[in-house]
Structure formats: C-alpha cells, structure tokens
Amino acid sequence: MTGSGPRLDGVSDAIAAASWFAAVGEAWTAADQSEAESYANTLQPDALRIAIAHDWHDAARITQDTGWSRTWWNVEEQQRQELTLAAEHLFGRHAVMTALSAVMAMAGDLVHGKAALAAARAGIADPALTRVAAGAAAMACHQLAVATIAQAPEDHPFGIKFRLFAAGRWPLCVVGESLYVF
C-alpha cells in the first residue's frame, strides 16, 4: 500500500466531458459498433450479438424485460469486486471509498440531469426511465473509477462500457444472446 491516495482527476474530467445520452436514438457510427462489439466480447466472447434500441420507448421495454441475463450482471459484479479488492490493496479501504464517494457525488446529479434532458428532448416524461438511465450511467462512472484506481488496462470492460456512455450511447443490458445498446 502506498502512502498517497488514488488520483481520479482524469476520471472526473472524463465524466464531465462525456456526451451523456446525446447519441441515443441517432444513427450508429463505426466507432459505436466497434466499442459495442468490444464490450460484448469481454462479456461472452463470440456469443453476443449487438442489438439496437431505436427510441426511449424501446429502451424502456428492453430494460423491463424479465429475461435479462443474470450471468451478465454477475460477470460485471465479480469484476467490480475483484477490482475493488485490488484497489484497496494498493491504497487502503478508506482511501478507495473516499475517492469513489467523491466521484459518485460529482457524477450523480450530472448524469441524472443529462438523462432527463435527453428524454425530454425526445418528448419522454417518464421519471422512472430517467432514473434507470441515470443509474446505469452512474454505475458506469463507479466502475470506471474502480478500474482506474486498481490500475486496470484501458481495454478493461468497464473502460469500454464507459466509452460507450461517453459517446452518448446507453448500454442497456443483455437479454438472451443480445447486448442491447441505445
């Protein structure tokens, strides 16, 4: 364990600069497709196809699908726990939790506002859906911060997932053999 705490200035800057939800419902780019495929391959190599949610109503339907993959959730949760332990080994539990709390305090209101704005621009007035979108974005911020503190490589699934959000997309969930992205 080192004497200094984790530095997350780059994470805070990335969160502030991200184009949260700005590209949802827009045409896909080659970069979007590439990042989504990279993220899918970190979850289940060659097993997931990319499926696109076309609008906020479609996104709501997909996020409410009871057939979402618990395996996907468990893979991410296991990775989060492993990275948290690695980060705590490097910096100590208190320093890690303090740094993560600061990131989440900064990210929470920001991503909620961006989700609400994007939904409103699309004519959607659904506070529950806005909270789901903001919660997913906040989780991506937390995951990126944990990966950064643990010194995970940039191609870690949490880095890729964050880049999808930063590009204005919303990785929704895995249902069946599909990773849905809005």
In a domain, residue 8? The reply is no
pLDDT in tens, 108-155: 999 999 999 999 999 999 999 999 999 999 999 999 999 999 999 999
- Positive or negative, the CA dihedral 71, 73, 76, 77 is negative
In a domain, residue 9? The reply is no
In a domain, residue 106? The reply is yes
CA-to-CA dists, residue 95 to 14, 84, 120, angstroms: 21, 12, 38
Cα diameter, the chain: 50
In a domain, residue 46? The reply is yes
Q: What torsion, rounded to 10 degrees, do the Cα atoms 17, 27, 127, 123 define?
A: 120
In a domain, residue 151? The reply is yes
- Give kind and range of the element (H or E) at residue 6: none
Confidence of residue 5 (pLDDT cuts 50, 70, 90): confident
pLDDT for the residue 9? 82
96-114: b (≥16 Cβ within 10 Å) or e: beebbeebeebbbebbbeb
Say how many domains are in the chain: 1
Structure tokens that stand for 131 in this block: 């909270």
Q: Among 76, 54, 29, which Cα is nearest to 173's?
A: 76
pLDDT in tens, 49-97: 999 999 999 999 999 999 998 888 999 999 999 999 999 999 999 999 9
Q: Which domain holds residue 40?
A: 16-60+68-181
52/25 Cα distance (integer angstroms)? 9
In a domain, residue 1? The reply is no
For 157-170, what is the mean pLDDT?
A: 98
> What pTM was estimated for this model as a whole?
0.93
In a domain, residue 3? The reply is no
Structure tokens that stand for 136 in this block: 């997913």
- 165 by DSSP, 3-state: which? helix
In a domain, residue 167? The reply is yes
Alpha helix stretches (DSSP H) within the chain: 9-17, 30-43, 56-63, 70-91, 93-121, 127-149, 157-166
